[in-house]
Structure 1
Amino acid sequence: MNTTQRRRPELAGFLRGRRARVTPADVGMPPGLRRRTPGLRREEVAQLSGVGVTWYTWLEQGRPINASPQVLDAVARTLRLDQTEREHLYHLAEVPYESEPELPAQTVSAEIQGIIDALDPRPAAVYNSRYDILAANPPYRDLFFVSQTLDIGVPNVLWTLFTVPEPGCPVVFRDSELPLMVATLRSAYGRHVGEPAWEDYIRGLSAASPRFAKLWAGGDVLPPGPRVKTFRHEAVGELRMTSVSLSVDGMPECRIVAYTPDDEKARKGLAVLRERRERLWPPSLPAATASLGSQSPMSPTTWGT
């Protein structure tokens, strides 16, 4: 049995189930007499959706008929489908689904912050699709804080990497790393072409960095993925770290990026940075510790890469 043959029975059952839960009163219709179904009748769904009774009957029977996005939207409104159910209807009817564009998230929940804090001693942060840094744990701040970014005023990875002078940049091999990151950014940009926030972001960074403008004009695309990167820190030297991206339910186009030491030198380097932090913010100083832990997700001390 092919995919279409499997989906049609699922589509039929899904529509029947959703129709049964919508009462005539829900859509402003009188209940009528001798109603054998707990919800709407097929002809009522067809009437309210502006489609033929025969066509809707065939759709609900799972027959191989074509459905347009406009018609599916009308049926979805009649059946009071939420966004997840509407997307499911599209998939079962084998019609391409385009979700409404969403602005990149700018905050994280306490639960997500707790998760990345629990990854200590591994550096971890939450990025949205524009590489805005929404949250970070203390090891991330230990490794990636760049003092020059205080003057930039933009809590964003790419702004840091493209505008901070080479000696102060935490990424060692910028010539190989930056093209990959720009290609990842462009793969996300395809879902947001024309949106003012995205266009302003691209235009502003292009003006701030000719190197970014040149890479952006190249048009390469690449999805996020695990990579080994080399970073530098004035206190411990170069550290090889493997980055892994994890998606976050309920936060579209956001990901947790965690860094794992790639060798013993990197592991020891992170331990040294942790010891430095604990000397600066010992447990005996609760006020200082609380202040560090309660930084705004967009605070400059969460900047990095």
Structure 2
Amino acid sequence: MKTNVMTQSERLGDFLRLKRNSIAPETLGMIKPYRSRTPGLRREDVAELANISTVWYSKLERGKAERVSHTVISTIAKALQCDPSETRYLLQLSGHIDLAERELLTQSLSPELETMLAAVNPLPALLTNDFRDILRANDAFCQMVGFDVNALDIKQRNTVCLMTNNEQWREWLGAIDDDALMQCMQNSAALVRAAMASRVSDREWQTRLAELISSSELFAKVWESHTVRAKQEMVREYHHATLGRIELRQQYWSNCSGGAVGQLLVYIPTAPKCAQKMGISTPNRV
């Protein structure tokens, strides 16, 4: 039996139709036309709100439009009162990768995330996404690596780019020779591949993967090994900028808050003496 698989254009049109039908005209100060068969807004209503032609919008809903501009999609999303997650979904379906959106994620994390990262101090912690972008690091993490990670440009605030271009980052990782750097890069590539597994046909993932491959010859090389590694607790030595070599346990917590979706990484010293030096209190064990 043949299964019909929807194209991205068809998925885009299907979402627009369902979203349009869910909005009552009265909520937008509009009068519902007499004897209207449409449960929500009409196509011409959305077209008028988005300042585009009804014919063009109809093609979008039928999955027949190609090369839809970022501006048009954003305007339609606003007309349909889409929240950030829905707007992002529309942009993904229409094939738009927006660097400004990535910048927004790093600059406007939810107050809850900001509070949590600050509260985790003095434990070093950072928030990343599946592309290995660092959305935000707390003060303790910046002190540990020896520079303000948050002050870097968004294009540089990626662990693959940092391993490739930042000597202080490599020193913190202990990647002081080619073999150690290769191992660290293999770990990052394996995590990216594992996160990408269920979204291999996603245009955004393909675009970001191309960016990572072009940004680092070493990443491009290790990517071909096809290693996959799930996120897991890990214990290894790092080089603290002020305390020197210390053993830390890296732990992951999944996060979904506002527009930021990713993981919270927290680094916990394994030795009580190191914890004390970092100003971290340890529980008394009976």
Shorter-normalised TM-score: what interval?
Answer: 0.5 to 0.7
Instruction: Please show how residues 1-305 of structure 1 align to structure 2 within 5 Å.
Output: 22=24, 30-32=33-35, 44-45=38-39, 82=82, 100-101=91-92, 103-104=101-102, 105-109=105-109, 111=111, 112-145=113-146, 154-164=156-166, 169-172=171-174, 174-188=181-195, 190=200, 191=202, 192-195=204-207, 198-206=209-217, 211-233=218-240, 235-246=242-253, 247-271=255-279
Q: TM-score w.r.t. structure 2 length?
A: 0.54
Find the aligned partners of 1:82 and 1:252 in 2 and give their Cα distance.
17
Find the aligned partners of 1:81 and 1:225 in 2 and give their Cα distance.
38
Shift of 1:228: 2.3
Shift of 1:71: 7.8
* 8 Å contact kept, 1:241–1:261: yes
Q: Determine the structure 1 residue equivalent to 2:10.
A: none
Higher relative contact order at CA 8 Å, sep ≥6: structure 1 or structure 2? 1
Relative to structure 1, the CA distance from residue 134 to residue 151 in structure 2 (aligned partners, 3 Å threshold; closer, same or farther) is: closer
Q: Deviations over 1:199-224 (max 9, x none)?
A: 23431222xxxx32221122333343
Deviation above 6 Å: which 4+ runs of structure 1?
A: 18-21, 24-28, 83-86, 150-153
Alignment: residue pair count: 210
* 8 Å contact kept, 1:132–1:156: yes
Q: Determine the structure 1 residue equivalent to 2:48.
A: none
Provide the alpha-carbon RMSD of the alignment: 4.9
Secondary structure at 2:107 match in 1? coil
Find the aligned partners of 1:241 and 1:179 in 2 and give their Cα distance.
20
The structure whose Rg is larger is 1
> Quick one: percent identity of the two aligned structures?
14
Deviates more, 1:136-145 or 1:263-272: 263-272
Q: Deviations over 1:55-86 (max 9, x none)?
A: xxxxxxxxxxxxxxx789xxxx9xx6856998
Shift of 1:259: 1.5
Shift of 1:116: 0.8
Relative to structure 1, the CA distance from residue 139 to residue 100 in structure 2 (aligned partners, 3 Å threshold; closer, same or farther) is: same
Deviates more, 1:172-181 or 1:137-146: 172-181
Unmatched 5+ residue regions in structure 2?
1-19, 44-60, 64-76, 175-179, 281-286
Shift of 1:230: 2.0
Find the aligned partners of 1:232 and 1:181 in 2 and give their Cα distance.
19
Q: TM-score w.r.t. structure 1 length?
A: 0.51
